[in-house]
Structures are given as C-alpha cells and as structure tokens.
Amino acid sequence: MSEPDLKLRIGLGVHDSRGLVWGYRLDCCEALSMHEMPEGTLEHPVWLHFNLADGRARTWISEQSNLPEVAVTALLDPLRRVRVNNIGSGVTGIIEDLHHDFHGDPEGFGELRFYVDEHRVISGRRHPLKAVDALHRSLESGEPLQTTARWLEEFVEAVTRTFADAVHDLVEQVDEIEDEIVAGSHEDERARLANIRRLLVRFRRHLHSNRGALGKLRMRDGGDPANPSPLRQTLEQMDGVVQDLDLVHERVRLLQEEVASLLAEDTNRNLYVLSIVTTVLLPATLLTGVWGMNVGGLPWSENPHGFWWTALGILTSVLLSLALLRGTRVL
C-alpha cells in the first residue's frame, strides 16, 4: 500500500469529534479521539467508528479520510445492499446487524459499513448495533486486538453470535407455541405464528445475504482446510446458524398449517351444529310463521286453548325433526 493511503489527514481544530462514536488503538485498548490521530504512518492499528447520520462524519470520510474511492462509496452509498469487496490489501463491506434495542421487531435491522486495511478500521452505522457494541465492550474491558485482521475476525464472530442468540430466542418461542397448540389452545397462536414467520423471513433474507457476502473472505483467508483459521471456523458457524434458521422457519410453516387445520375443524364443527339447529327448528319456524299471519280463518284463533295447541304442534314438529335426523344417522 502506498504511503498516502496510510495517512489520515485530520486538521486539528477544524473537525470536531461529534461524528465519531468512538476510536481505539486496537493493540492497547486505548481510547482515541479525532484530535489525537497521527497524520503520518500509523504505528498502532486503529479503529474509528462513526455515526453516519451525522453530516460531519460523512464529510470527514469523503474529504479527509484519504480512503480509496471504493471504500468511500461503500461507507456513504445510500443504497442498502449487503456486499464485501476485496480492494488490494484492504476489505470493504456492508453487513446486516441487529439494532442494539432489538426486541423482535421485523424492522430492527441495520447495516454496518466498514473498511479494513493493514493499519486501520473505519466503520459507520446510522443506528446503534449489537455486534459492534460487543466489540466495543470487549475493548473497554481491556481485551486488545493486535491487528485489524483480528478485528475483522472478531466482528464476523460477533455478528454470527448475535444472530445465533436471536435464532435461539425464536426457537424457544416456537417451542412454547407448539406446546400450547398440542394442549389445545390454538386460537391465540395464529397471530403469534404470523409475527414470528414475518420476522423469520427478514432473518433469512439478511443472514443469507451476510453469508454470501462474507463468503468472499474465505478466498481471502486461504489457509489449510485441515487446520482452518478462526475466521473460517466462524464462517462455518454462520453456515450452521443459517441451517438452524431454515429449520425453525420450516417448523413455523408446519405449525401454521396445523393451526389452520384446527381452526377449519372448529369452523366445520360450528357449521355442523348450526345446521342441526336450523334443521330442527325449521318446521317450528314454519308453524310460527303460519300462525303469525294476521288473517281470518286460522285454526284455534277463537279457542281459549289455541296457544297451547299451537305450542304442542311446535314441540311435536321439533321431536319429529330430531327423530328424522336420528333415523338418517345425521345425529
């Protein structure tokens, strides 16, 4: 890499640090502000993490970072498309992560944009993210990362772990719903299954995109297949998370079909009861309709016991209807 590519041209007193979420010297876990950045060749690997919703951060990245044009595009491109590109000795990418305040919201996904070369990591996001925050807490606790390559490994591992934990929570929810369905309480589970399936669709889309994009790091990593590197092992773990996600998605689909079948049985049972009641009361309805006509000549209209004779006729018709249904084995 040429010497200009290793320079971070920061004018002290010109750009403040409000666009910088945090900065670190990775090998010594030392916090770093914009005003403390060296202007020449970096002696320590550094990580600068920006809030891309801040215009000053975008201005610094585009005008003062001296990053390759491809890296600037990846960091600032308004299009949200997951990808990883190898550019010389560096790597740039956009990877999906979960919002830091993620609580099962299908919209709770955000992207981390990063550029990694031999000496520096420049990353940015618009919403606090889980995986990046895990790396931040690790550095805060005094666990150094000796190289930027190690940062990349830790980041991929954090993303994998974040999605794995979320999938595990979804599996527990599906287990609980399945128990309720087996116990016969399926009326309230249809909406829960629909919400979980909607969330799973988003999970599958983002996780498959991440796996496809990060797969390019396998080619960059190289190494001995018999003795895989930590990065390759993490990518294989991500493959396992994708498989688990596909399995739970299939379980949810089957549970939805079972709930739909149970609800259809309930509906058919209710329609059956309604049909029986309608059939039994049909003759009685006919009789009451006839005797309810306000015309002359109706039987027993002048008889003081006419009501009771009519009631007896209605009861008799109901009993005959029940006997007919019993005889035809409808009941």
Cα 86 to Cα 11, 71, 89, 151, 232: the distances in Å are 29, 10, 7, 16, 16
Q: Residue 234: is its pLDDT beyond 90?
A: no
Name the DSSP letter for residue 3. Answer: G
* Helix 189-214 / helix 148-182 crossing angle, nearest 10 deg: 160
How long is the chain?
331
pLDDT tens column, 49-64? 999 988 888 888 888 8
Answer for the pair 315, 307: CB distance below 8 angstroms, yes or no. no
Q: Where are the domains of the chain?
A: 1-146, 147-282
Of 45, 47, 230, 29, the C-alpha closest to 143 is 29
* Cα(191)–Cα(300) distance, integer angstroms: 57
Per-residue pLDDT, 113: 93
CA 223 to chain centre: 34
* Cα(260)–Cα(266) distance, integer angstroms: 10
Q: Cα–Cα–Cα angle for 15, 18, 21, nearest 5°?
A: 120
* Cα(1)–Cα(39) distance, integer angstroms: 16
| CATH fold match for the domains 1-146 and 147-282 | no
Of 173-187, 199-213, 220-234, the least confident? 220-234
Answer for the pair 1, 8: CB distance below 8 angstroms, yes or no. no
Region 1-146: CATH code: 3.30.460.20
Could you please state the CATH topology (level 3) that the domain comprising 147-282 is classified under.
Methane Monooxygenase Hydroxylase; Chain G, domain 1 (1.20.58)
Record the tokens describing residue 98, joined without a space: 């979960």
Given the DSSP bridges, would you call strands 109-116 and 120-125 parallel, antiparallel or unpaired?
Answer: antiparallel
* Cα(154)–Cα(133) distance, integer angstroms: 12
Residue with the bigger pLDDT between 11 and 124: it is 124
Record the tokens describing residue 284, joined without a space: 């009685």
Q: Work out the pLDDT band at 114, boundaries 50, 70, 90.
A: very high
Per-residue pLDDT, 291: 72
